[in-house]
Amino acid sequence: MRINLMTILSFVFIGLIGYLSYDIIYGKNGYEQYKAVHAQLDKANYKSSLLQKRNIAVEEEIADLKQGNMAIEDLARSELGLIYKDEIFFRVIKPQNDN
């Protein structure tokens, strides 16, 4: 039986297409690796968003604590007469009108 050139070329091209398809799907930087890296990226983005939300919450809590300290200090100054060690306190009294 005589095998002609077209049959040989057909088998070579079919083998080449099969090899390239396998390499694209399962080889280095192939589709399977792409899916795995994409899943890792999704996990990392999710963790990053959770950490960003936590950072925002911590920043808001710090701002509230700073504001709370200022409010407490203002209240102590006005109601309790808080004066620090190196401060000078001046009390201004309005004159009473005897009209």
What's the domain count of the chain? 1
Does 67 map to a domain? yes
Instruction: Confirm whether 86 is domain-assigned.
Output: no
Number of neighbours of residue 89 by Cβ within 10 angstroms? 9
Query: Would the pTM of this model clear 0.85, i.e. be above it?
Result: no
pLDDT, tens only, 46-65: 999 999 999 999 998 888 87
44 domain-assigned: yes
For residue 55, being part of any structural domain is answered with yes
Q: Does 76 map to a domain? A: yes
Asked if residue 36 belongs to a domain, the reply is yes
Residue carrying the six token digits 């007469």: 81
Contact 73, 82 (CB under 8 A): yes
Residue 58 domain boundaries = 29-80
Residue 14 domain-assigned? no
Does the residue 46 lie in any domain? yes
- Taking only the tens place, the pLDDT of each residue in 1-54 is 567 888 888 999 999 999 888 888 877 888 888 888 999 999 999 999 999 999
